Structure 1
Amino acid sequence: MATGTVRYWAAAKAAAGIAEEPFDAPTLGDLLAGISANPDLARVLPRCSFLVNGAPAGTRDPRSIDLPEGAVVEVLPPFAGG
């Protein structure tokens, strides 16, 4: 089980009601399942991209992405413009 920080940006930040929070999860899929308990955030997550320590998760199954200890996970909704 890894601990780290999840950071929310733009619409994800508005839905979460906070900019960042600690997490305790072994995989990105487990982390997403946990934060999906917030119904506002659950509506935004399907449109988001995710970075784990700066590396894009891309189209991989989130359950296959192990989170290392101290990871920073960025939750990035689509952005308009540049």
Structure 2
Amino acid sequence: MRSDMTPSRSRQRIRAQRTHEPATAIAMRSDALRPFLGNTVEERRSRLRNMLRAERGAARRGVGYDPLRHAAISRLMREITGGK
């Protein structure tokens, strides 16, 4: 194979741009999700478990996965369970 036909390493890099810092974006997502979780601890825990299950499924499939949403849901679950 000729050297001019091999792709350059610079073309293989994935570049991304963030509009917010990750911690700030996760906190914003957590705040946005809070009103929809329910009134009791049991309701919140149940809804968060379902949401986490859906995010993990999306991560496995690779379709519809949102890492910020996953992090926000995980953070909310830790708040409810006391960091467990």
Q: Which has the higher contact order (CA 8 A, sep 6+)?
A: 1
Flag the structure with higher helix content.
Answer: 2
Shared topology, TM-score over 0.5?
no
- Bigger strand fraction: 1
Q: Which protein has the larger Cα radius of gyration, Structure 1 or Structure 2? A: 2
TM-score of the aligned structures, taking structure 2 as reference length: 0.28
